[in-house]
Structure 1
Amino acid sequence: MTATELVTKAPSNGPAEASLPHSSKWSAAQIMLLIVLCTVLALDGLDVSMVGVALPSMGRELGLNTESLQWIVSGYVLGYGSLLLLGGRMADLLGRRKIFLIALTVFAAASLLGGLVNDPTLLIATRFIKGLAAAFTAPTGFSIITTNFAEGKARNRAISIYSTFGASGFSLGLVLGGLMTTLSWRWTFLIAVPIAVTAVLLGLKYIPKDKPSTEGGHDIGGAITLALGMLGLVYTLVSAPEAGWGSPQTIIGFAVSALVLAAFAVIENKVKHPLIRFGILRQGWVARANLSIIGLFGSYLSFQFILTMYLQNVLGWSPLGMALALLPTGLIVVASSPFASRLIDRIGAPRLIIAGMIALTLGYVLFLRVGASPNYAADILPSVILLGIGFALGFPSINVQATAGIHDAEQGLAAGLIQTSSQVGAALVLAVTTALVTGSHSATTASDPSAMLDTFRPGLILSAAVALAGLLIAAAPKRRAKVLAVA
């Protein structure tokens, strides 16, 4: 059996999947369902990138310093990354439709409040709440797809479109954020409200009712220790650049988080119905897919962070100009959506992941040659195009790999794992990147563009190294596929 066959011909996920139509042709209800889920995931991506563009305007109007502005972004990551695993599992246990609609309603309410408040602390709190809500909608939406589209061509196509919408939302959110910020930074919050409300109303009609899983009880101890451990880990990661990686706060934060997560592991190995069955990491491609997504998403977010500072601080570009410079990446991802599933079916997800990681790595390496006065078409655009190609090929393929062959009762868990890996992994890589850039910046002067550019190079090298590591990991599944096929 080939690697492609292993993805598209995985064993049935049981009675629930057996009732799904195995035709690759979708019904009108399935199309509307996918539209609702894709809209919500794109909204998550839009929210992150739009707010990032609007940070300077928020700082001027509310009198926020750099540290406070950082927490407007980090607050979302903190809520999102800490509860993704719990969100996916709770959707399996309590019902996907119920969890999805409740979380989306909370997201809409927090967006409205965030666009109206003037208190910085309350603003950061709304970002945290939105992150918590997204931690439930993202993995739940993924598992709704995997349980309503038969595994194979139909599911691969749905997942690739769904994943592409998330990536497209993040990429195009930069441009939309630039446009909204010209009106007011508040619109980067408020624009999400009517979209989320519309999605709730459509979701009530088109998201099929489902019954909570009967395969397992409620692991309260595991849920509490997981949430606290992940919350502590993500908080330590995002605060480490400011506090210092060797500071007592950071060391204690990592130590406490490790102890709590160790307690979680002990609980999971003892309870009858664990929140996370660790054996899932040995199924199919789950472990390698989770490592690959860290290489892809971690390197991409860190590069985008550096490119944003480079274009604005070194070249003096406006937020909208910066967003337009990155627009080709988003356009490539959007344009690839109708063809991603066909490529996965024809070429195979493992090969596409490798091709995507090669494109990403090459894009980062090419960018290392830019100077303080680059030509956009010759020096920046090639990297931007390669990043778009890499993301378009790699992101949906990794998501397909992460859930192939997983039982319906654990689809939410598998979806939560892959998204947790992408977010927490990206937070770790970005935190290290920030530390490298900040450390280099302290030794140079802001008046020298060439010297400022040199401060960014350690971060650029790190992005290339992380992508290369992801490439090496992605190259292994093809060999493992043969072993699994023999087995």
Structure 2
Amino acid sequence: RRRMFVLWLSVFLVFSGLGGLATEGWMLVTARFVTGVAAAFMTPAGLSIITTGFEEGPRRNKALLFYSGTAAGGFSIGLVVGGLLASVDWRWVFFAPVVLSALILIAALALVPGAPRTDRTGRSLDLAGGLAVTAAIMLLVLGVERAGHAPLVQTLATLGAGLVALAAFIVVERRSAAPLVRPGIFRDTALVRANAVGLLFAAGFFGFQFLVVLYLQELRGWSTLQTSFAMIVIGIDAILSPVLVPKLVDRFGNARLILGGLVLASLSYGLFLPVGADWTYPVMLPSLLLLGLAFALTYGPLTIVATEGVDEEEQGLAGGLLYTSFQFGAALGLSAAAAVNVSATGSDSPAALLDGYRAALWVPLVAALAAALISGFG
């Protein structure tokens, strides 16, 4: 796990720097693609370092809640810092992660213990399964995105191809001697429920923020930096996750906190549904604050539930599944919100733009309500 984390963190560092040096569009796209691949490997590896470094129980739960808090803080601070750097020069958006990655790399080499020599399974890489599931996710997201502007036949064909790729992935995993995802892991109903809730929660969370940013910048004319500072209040979860949430987990348990967070997320999205053309920031603030609180109550406990009771050798798999669920959900939420927004916007007039936002805001609300429904059963 340490080797995996360090290797892909190094790849991320190098290609983030190359992205900042890009002189052509294809160079920038390639750099972003490789950094995305690197993140896909190192994020679950980092999570599994935590889950295997602490025994299951209060200490691991506290560590995971600190993990979720720092992740939330990084996202919120990144919004502001990214906006500030972009206003100076877009290349610094790529150069800044190089510095941070270098510091993390030094810390990982110095502080994270290496795996014992016996920790080698000799398993081969399930390349066919990886390609099939990646194709399935990309095609399904593309199909949802096309629904807003492409002909119906093309949309259905893309979605159908995605489902075929997903079926191929299932067949490959059942027949593979060393599957990328062991099918038997899905007998753990708590893990399945946590991943389904994570997917839907991420769909709503990122879809909502996408629409708020469009509203502030397209309709209200706010700058990138103004928008970033407006959204930073969502970062309240960075404070609550390590300070308050552990006490709430001890008192109420993970399931109740997750359900409570999903209810608050639904309330946050619902309050924003009647958004007006001249809303002041204090009117928007309750939705943003509630969303930050919802993230604090949901993300950390979901991480605990999704990795709880899983054998140590499959902690990386459990972390990878949760990470994939969040990323897939985020992509679906963004695509669905964009598709509805495009379909409901009849022209470039302020009134038409507002109609598009209001219609698309139902996407995160429905996603959060569906997640709450699933969560309510366990």
Q: TM range, normalised to the smaller chain?
A: over 0.9
Q: Which residue does 2:298 correspond to in 1?
A: 394
| Deviation (angstroms), 1:206 | 1.1
**Per-residue Cα deviation, 1:282-334 (whole angstroms, up to 9, x for no partner):** 22510110011122111010000100000011111111111111111113433
Query: Where in structure 2 are there 5+ consecutive unaligned residues?
Result: none
The percentage of aligned residue pairs carrying the same residue is 38
Map 1:180-195 → 2, pairs under 5 A: 180-195=85-100
Give the alignment partner of residue 435 of structure 1, picking from 339, 345, 350: 339
**Per-residue Cα deviation, 1:1-40 (whole angstroms, up to 9, x for no partner):** xxxxxxxxxxxxxxxxxxxxxxxxxxxxxxxxxxxxxxxx
Give the alignment partner of residue 356 of structure 2, picking from 441, 455, 458: 455
| Deviation (angstroms), 1:224 | 2.0
- For normalisation by structure 1, the TM-score amounts to 0.73
Give the alignment partner of residue 382 of structure 1, picking from 274, 286, 295: 286
Give the alignment partner of residue 160 of structure 1, picking from 36, 41, 65: 65
Change (3 A) 1:277 1:213: farther
**Per-residue Cα deviation, 1:54-102 (whole angstroms, up to 9, x for no partner):** xxxxxxxxxxxxxxxxxxxxxxxxxxxxxxxxxxxxxxxxxx1111100
| Deviation (angstroms), 1:254 | 3.6
Specify the SS of the correspondent of 1:370.
coil
Determine the C-alpha separation between the residues in 2 that align with 1:245 and 1:208. 51
Q: Which residue does 1:233 correspond to in 2?
A: 136
Determine the C-alpha separation between the residues in 2 that align with 1:146 and 1:407. 10
Determine the C-alpha separation between the residues in 2 that align with 1:246 and 1:143. 43
| Deviation (angstroms), 1:194 | 1.3
Determine the C-alpha separation between the residues in 1 that align with 2:309 and 2:138. 34
Is 2:65–2:241's contact at 8 Å kept on the other side of the alignment? no
Which residue identity lines up with residue 184 of structure 1 in the other structure? Answer: D
Q: Which residue does 2:107 correspond to in 1?
A: 202
2:312 counterpart of 1:411: no
Which residue identity lines up with residue 317 of structure 2 in the other structure? Answer: L
Q: Which residue does 2:232 correspond to in 1?
A: 327
Determine the C-alpha separation between the residues in 2 that align with 1:293 and 1:149. 23
Determine the C-alpha separation between the residues in 1 that align with 2:175 and 2:139. 28
Is 1:295–1:471's contact at 8 Å kept on the other side of the alignment? no
| Deviation (angstroms), 1:132 | 0.3
Is 2:141–2:335's contact at 8 Å kept on the other side of the alignment? yes
| Deviation (angstroms), 1:170 | 1.6
**Per-residue Cα deviation, 1:122-156 (whole angstroms, up to 9, x for no partner):** 10110000000000111000111010011111000
Q: Which residue does 1:291 correspond to in 2?
A: 196
Specify the SS of the correspondent of 1:126.
helix
Q: Which residue does 1:143 correspond to in 2?
A: 48
Determine the C-alpha separation between the residues in 2 that align with 1:332 and 1:267. 40
Q: Which residue does 2:374 correspond to in 1?
A: 473
RMSD across aligned positions (CA): 2.0
| Deviation (angstroms), 1:204 | 1.1
Determine the C-alpha separation between the residues in 1 that align with 2:94 and 2:128. 32
Change (3 A) 1:136 1:439: same
Is 2:136–2:162's contact at 8 Å kept on the other side of the alignment? yes
Determine the C-alpha separation between the residues in 1 that align with 2:92 and 2:120. 44
Determine the C-alpha separation between the residues in 1 that align with 2:159 and 2:90. 35
Q: Which residue does 1:111 correspond to in 2?
A: 16
Determine the C-alpha separation between the residues in 2 that align with 1:470 and 1:168. 23
Which residue identity lines up with residue 156 of structure 1 in the other structure? Answer: N
- For normalisation by structure 2, the TM-score amounts to 0.94
2:265 counterpart of 1:360: yes
Give the alignment partner of residue 280 of structure 1, picking from 168, 173, 185: 185
**Per-residue Cα deviation, 1:230-250 (whole angstroms, up to 9, x for no partner):** 332333245443585546655
Is 1:371–1:450's contact at 8 Å kept on the other side of the alignment? no
**Per-residue Cα deviation, 1:368-422 (whole angstroms, up to 9, x for no partner):** 1221011221x20010011011001101111111001110011000001111111
| Deviation (angstroms), 1:216 | 5.8
Which residue identity lines up with residue 364 of structure 2 in the other structure? Answer: S
Out of 329-338 and 464-473, give the one that drifted further: 329-338
Q: Which residue does 1:4 correspond to in 2?
A: none
Determine the C-alpha separation between the residues in 2 that align with 1:334 and 1:127. 30
| Deviation (angstroms), 1:121 | 1.0
Q: Which residue does 2:251 correspond to in 1?
A: 346
Change (3 A) 1:168 1:246: farther
Query: Where in structure 1 are there 5+ consecutive unaligned residues?
Result: 1-95, 478-487
Which residue identity lines up with residue 281 of structure 1 in the other structure? Answer: F
Q: Which residue does 1:311 correspond to in 2?
A: 216
Change (3 A) 1:213 1:373: farther
Which residue identity lines up with residue 266 of structure 2 in the other structure? Answer: T
Is 1:112–1:190's contact at 8 Å kept on the other side of the alignment? yes
Determine the C-alpha separation between the residues in 2 that align with 1:130 and 1:275. 21
Is 2:275–2:358's contact at 8 Å kept on the other side of the alignment? no
Which residue identity lines up with residue 264 of structure 1 in the other structure? Answer: F
Change (3 A) 1:332 1:224: closer
Q: Which residue does 1:483 correspond to in 2?
A: none
Is 2:198–2:325's contact at 8 Å kept on the other side of the alignment? yes
